[in-house]
Amino acid sequence: MAMRVTRSGSARPQSSGWELAIWYLMRLTGLGLFVTALAHFIIVHFISDPKDQTADWIATHRWMDAAWRTVDWLMLAFVVFHAFMGLRIVVQDYTKGGVRTVLTMALYLGALLIFAMGTMALITFKSSMPVQP
């Protein structure tokens, strides 16, 4: 049976199911990361003036807009999924047995914890900083 490969030469999972879904999601989150990180960089460093971007500006202008919070949450979701699923692939390549199971579960719990903390920070943030003229 011949191994299915992509145009870049990386192996595509043979089975349909969890591994194939992870394989596609890694590519989609990589694309999403590229788009959101590039948009973030262009907006923050070229469109907005970096000398005006203080913690006060972020608290009173940027994070008071639901659209910015949504974009920041999407970038958080893309980063956490892509990074931890990439680490999962490394763990599965280099470990076996019970160690693999423990490390994989630790990765899932770590990803869930970081994602939950980031989501809570974005949802519950309230500007309590004074606005400087």
Of 89 and 5, more confident: 89
pLDDT value of position 54: 82
Is residue 56 within 8 Å of 132, Cβ to Cβ? yes
User: Distances from the Cα of 76 to the Cαs of 24, 83, 98, 116, 121, in angstroms?
Assistant: 19, 11, 30, 10, 11
pLDDT value of position 1: 46
Q: How many residues does the chain have?
A: 133
Chain centre to alpha carbon of residue 115: 9
The helix-helix angle for 18-42 and 66-94 (nearest 10°) equals: 140
Q: What are the chain's domains?
A: 18-124 (1.20.1300.10)
Q: Does the structure show a pLDDT above 70 at 95?
A: yes
Residue owning tokens 């990765």 = 107
pLDDT value of position 15: 74
Q: Does the structure show a pLDDT above 60 at 62?
A: yes
User: Distances from the Cα of 56 to the Cαs of 7, 43, 52, 88, 130, in angstroms?
Assistant: 47, 18, 9, 38, 7
